[in-house]
């Protein structure tokens, strides 16, 4: 993602050039520019949070499968459609 972040500086530079020459920029464009960095940071945090959540879920699924498998080995499968028999 550093490639994406590298594109921010040129965008800010272009806006600074427009301001320097007093070129009128729409409020919408200025608003988008002001939200660029905070939105990017929020997106990155969302990715980190998602990765943590998926990792926790993966551990939980592994534990559940291990417990299920241990029970299966102890008592056998009681479900008639079980494919692990």
Question: Phi then psi for 44, rounded to 5 degrees?
Answer: -60, -40
pLDDT at 61: 66
pLDDT at 57: 73
pLDDT at 85: 41
Burial of 36 (0-12, 13-18, 19+ CB in 10 A): middle
- Domains of the chain, residue spans: 2-75
Using alpha carbons, list the distances in angstroms from residue 54 to 39, 47, 82.
22, 10, 28
Divide the 85 residues of the chain into consecutive groups of 10 and give the mean pLDDT of each group.
87 96 95 92 89 78 64 56 48
Is 0.85 surpassed by the pTM of this model? no
pLDDT at 58: 73
């Amino acid at each position: 993602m550093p490639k994406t972040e590298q594109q921010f500086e040129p965008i800010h530079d272009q806006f600074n050039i427009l301001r320097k020459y007093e070129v009128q920029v729409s409020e919408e464009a200025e608003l988008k520019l002001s939200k660029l960095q905070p939105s990017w940071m929020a997106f990155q945090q969302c990715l980190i949070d998602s990765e943590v959540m998926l990792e926790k879920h993966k551990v939980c699924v592994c534990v559940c499968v291990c417990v299920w498998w241990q029970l299966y080995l102890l008592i056998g499968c009681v479900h008639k459609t079980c494919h692990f028999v």
